[in-house]
């Protein structure tokens, strides 16, 4: 059984000529000398490195589609006919008090100084990719009015065309970072926060110092990695001048824009774009602790960490070091992840898949807890989109996992809302939307609710943000229903007992009881 669909993929805009494809190679069973395309090898024969990446850059996001042997669909949620855990103190569960609209979906994270969120979800790192930059207002305002955290990802300062540096190469003015922070803060209402993420280049540029001094941010995020790739962040640029500028700022740029042959190929039109890459980070216990101290000395009240689908060794390091350093939130991102730009084959073939990674996370947390170490609040990322995913992740990781990080799933509503706005203006609303109306207040079920709350400020809330809010409300209500059905009326009440494994493999990996064993003792006791 081949776990990955062989042949071309829409992400790389390739396809096989033949219906018959060799599973292991992805090549057509019969390869014609005169073939006119368009398998991955065919396209790579003249476009080379371009075909490594999904595209077109800046207009899409991509998610790996490898079919792993076990995933969260191998778990089901338990439902009960009695009980009501997590009700407010003094409230006894009955049909009138234990209703699903009353379920509390609020969560919080932090070692000492907690951050509350209205729902246990937050955005993935939206950094220097073009799709994050041009849609930021939709994403940031949407997250703010939904009461959840947004992560401003790596390299935002470093790629800003208007970036100003001092004589030591440190940031003195970063208009795009300013914009991103200010947009979120304007609509923030006591829930969630904006996390600015730092990689190697961000650290060298003094991004932490800048956002702390100018914007008084209380939280900063360190980045070890992400689920979509095991190398640094990447974007594409379309001009030679821009490529040279980014190289001068200390980034790896390929092909090298300073090489004469590269410049000639660009002039000829063969090379149409350049890739900007971040450097690989190197982690040590001593270096990590030193950096944490430095950031705290700058005045940050909270420090978070994002890591990827690395080996068990790095997972153990992330958990233990985070405990020792009193990290406020550790986000663990599994394979294959989602991306605005990552090597496609890397997305498919590297890293520990999320289900397996979360199982290991729970195992390691238990070992550290038994040694008397406090476990930092944890978020899990890597391929989630709907309320059942959220429930399963929280339950499987209980009591350590406090939230689910969603990348593409929280971006899509922003795209949808933005596009609906454009379709309305152009009188070109597709039937999928037009069946509900032709005006925002007809199309969006939450529009009037937001209009009543924000009044005249509603004009400054783009429809992409309305889309994100509407989607977050769907997640909230769906989660409330699942929680009520499992008799959990507060997130802290959810436990691993609320899940069952549908396959013995899933049970073995996760430690969740197999469906034919779950609650058997209780059942047998009743039958006696």
Residues 361-370 have pLDDT tens digits of 999 999 999 9
293 within 8 A of 286, measured Cβ to Cβ:
no
State residue 103's pLDDT score: 96
Q: How many Cα atoms within 13 Å fall on the side-chain side of residue 433? A: 21
**CATH 3.20.20.70 residue ranges for the chain:** 61-233+279-528
- Alpha helices (H) along 371-430: 387-396, 408-425
Share the mean pLDDT of the chain: 94
Token pair for residue 193? 């926060």
The pair phi, psi for residue 198, each rounded to 5°, is -125, 135
Question: Taking the C-alpha atoms of 502, 505, 507 and 508 in order, what is their torsion angle to the nearest 10 degrees?
Answer: 170
The pair phi, psi for residue 500, each rounded to 5°, is -135, 145
- Using the predicted structure, report yes or no on whether residue 417 has a pLDDT greater than 90: yes
- Using the predicted structure, report yes or no on whether residue 423 has a pLDDT greater than 90: yes
State residue 232's pLDDT score: 84
- Using the predicted structure, report yes or no on whether residue 211 has a pLDDT greater than 90: yes
* Residues whose CB falls within 8 Å of the CB of residue 442, separated by 6 or more in sequence, listed in order: 436
Reported confidence tier of residue 344, pLDDT bands at 50, 70, 90: confident
Cα 200 to Cα 99: distance, rounded to the nearest angstrom: 49
- Using the predicted structure, report yes or no on whether residue 242 has a pLDDT greater than 90: yes
Question: For the chain, how many helices (H) and strands (E)?
Answer: 20, 20
Tell me the mean pLDDT in the region 202-225. Answer: 96
Is residue 67 classed as helix, strand or coil in its secondary structure?
A: coil
Residues 61-99 have pLDDT tens digits of 888 888 899 999 999 999 999 999 999 999 999 999 999
Q: Which residue has the tokens 């493999």?
A: 505
State residue 365's pLDDT score: 98
Cα 445 to Cα 467: distance, rounded to the nearest angstrom: 10
- Using the predicted structure, report yes or no on whether residue 486 has a pLDDT greater than 80: yes
Token pair for residue 45? 């024969």
Could you tell me the CA-to-CA distances from 228 to 245, 348, 466, 471 in Å, in that order? Answer: 27, 8, 28, 24
| CA 20 centroid distance within chain | 35
Tell me the mean pLDDT in the region 409-423. Answer: 95
State residue 2's pLDDT score: 78
Cα 195 to Cα 181: distance, rounded to the nearest angstrom: 9
Q: What percent of the chain is predicted at pLDDT more than 70?
A: 100
State residue 67's pLDDT score: 87
State residue 56's pLDDT score: 85
Tell me the mean pLDDT in the region 307-331. Answer: 97
State residue 65's pLDDT score: 84
Cβ count near 358 (within 10 Å): 24
State residue 128's pLDDT score: 86
Tell me the mean pLDDT in the region 490-500. Answer: 97
Cα 370 to Cα 58: distance, rounded to the nearest angstrom: 47
* Residues whose CB falls within 8 Å of the CB of residue 377, separated by 6 or more in sequence, listed in order: 109, 110, 111, 328, 329, 330, 400, 402, 403
Nearest 5 degrees, angle CA 64-CA 69-CA 71? 70
Residues 12-28 have pLDDT tens digits of 999 899 989 888 888 89
| CA 237 centroid distance within chain | 23
State residue 233's pLDDT score: 85
The model carries a pTM of: 0.93
State residue 174's pLDDT score: 97
Tell me the mean pLDDT in the region 2-15. Answer: 84
- On the 0-12 / 13-18 / 19+ scale of CB atoms within 10 A, 474 is middle
222 within 8 A of 327, measured Cβ to Cβ:
no
Candidate from 8-17, 133-142, 158-167 with smallest mean pLDDT: 8-17
List for the chain the helix, strand, coil content (%; round to 5).
Answer: 45, 15, 40
Cα 14 to Cα 304: distance, rounded to the nearest angstrom: 39
CATH top-level class of 61-233+279-528: alpha beta
288 within 8 A of 296, measured Cβ to Cβ:
no
Q: What percent of the chain is predicted at pLDDT more than 90?
A: 82
Candidate from 224-228, 299-303, 313-317 with smallest mean pLDDT: 224-228
Tell me the mean pLDDT in the region 150-156. Answer: 94
Reported confidence tier of residue 387, pLDDT bands at 50, 70, 90: very high
């Amino acid at each position: 059984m081949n776990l990955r669909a062989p042949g071309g993929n829409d992400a790389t805009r390739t396809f096989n000529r033949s219906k018959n494809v060799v599973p292991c190679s992805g090549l057509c069973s019969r390869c014609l000398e005169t073939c006119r395309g368009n398998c991955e090898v065919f396209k790579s024969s003249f476009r080379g490195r371009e075909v490594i990446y999904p595209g077109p850059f800046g207009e899409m996001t991509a998610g790996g589609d490898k079919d792993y042997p076990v995933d969260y669909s191998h778990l089901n949620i338990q439902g009960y006919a009695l009980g009501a855990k997590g009700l407010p103190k003094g409230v006894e569960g009955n049909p009138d008090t234990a209703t699903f609209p009353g379920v509390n979906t609020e969560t919080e994270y932090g070692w000492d100084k907690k951050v509350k969120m209205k729902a246990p979800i937050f955005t993935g790192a939206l950094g220097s990719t073009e799709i994050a930059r041009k849609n930021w207002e939709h994403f940031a305002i949407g997250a703010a009015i939904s009461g959840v955290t947004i992560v401003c990802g790596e390299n935002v300062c470093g790629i800003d065309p208007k970036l100003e540096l001092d004589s030591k190469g440190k940031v003195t003015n970063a208009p795009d970072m300013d914009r991103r922070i200010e947009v979120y803060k304007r609509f923030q209402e006591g829930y969630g926060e904006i996390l600015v993420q730092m990689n190697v280049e961000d650290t060298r540029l003094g991004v932490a110092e800048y956002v702390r001094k100018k914007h008084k941010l209380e939280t900063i995020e360190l980045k070890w990695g992400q689920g979509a790739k095991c190398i640094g962040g990447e974007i594409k640029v379309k001009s030679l001048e821009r490529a040279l500028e980014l190289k001068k700022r200390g980034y790896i740029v390929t092909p090298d824009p300073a090489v004469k042959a590269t410049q000639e190929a660009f002039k000829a039109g063969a090379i149409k774009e350049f890739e900007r890459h971040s450097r690989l980070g190197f982690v040590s216990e001593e270096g990590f602790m030193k950096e944490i101290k430095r950031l705290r000395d700058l005045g940050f009240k909270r420090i978070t960490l994002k890591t990827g689908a690395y080996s068990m060794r790095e997972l153990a390091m992330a958990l233990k070091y985070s405990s020792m350093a009193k990290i406020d939130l550790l986000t663990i991102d599994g394979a294959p992840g989602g991306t605005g730009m990552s090597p496609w084959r890397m997305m498919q073939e590297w890293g520990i898949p999320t289900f397996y990674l979360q199982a290991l996370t729970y195992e390691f947390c238990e070992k550290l807890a038994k040694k008397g170490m406090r476990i930092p609040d944890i978020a899990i990322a890597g391929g989630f989109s709907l309320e059942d995913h959220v429930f399963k992740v929280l339950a499987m990781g209980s009591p350590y996992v406090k939230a689910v990080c969603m990348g593409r799933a929280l971006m899509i509503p922003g795209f949808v809302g933005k596009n609906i706005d454009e379709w309305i203006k152009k009188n070109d609303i597709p039937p999928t939307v037009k069946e509900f109306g032709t005006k925002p207040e007809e199309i969006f079920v939450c529009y009037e609710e937001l209009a009543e709350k924000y009044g005249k400020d509603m004009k400054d809330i783009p429809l992409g943000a309305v889309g994100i809010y509407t989607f977050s409300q769907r997640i909230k209500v769906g989660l409330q229903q699942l929680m009520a059905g499992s008799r959990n009326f507060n997130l802290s009440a959810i436990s691993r007992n609320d899940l069952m494994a549908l396959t013995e493999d899933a049970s073995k990996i996760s430690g969740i009881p197999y469906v034919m064993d779950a609650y058997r003792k209780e059942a047998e006791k009743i039958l006696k």
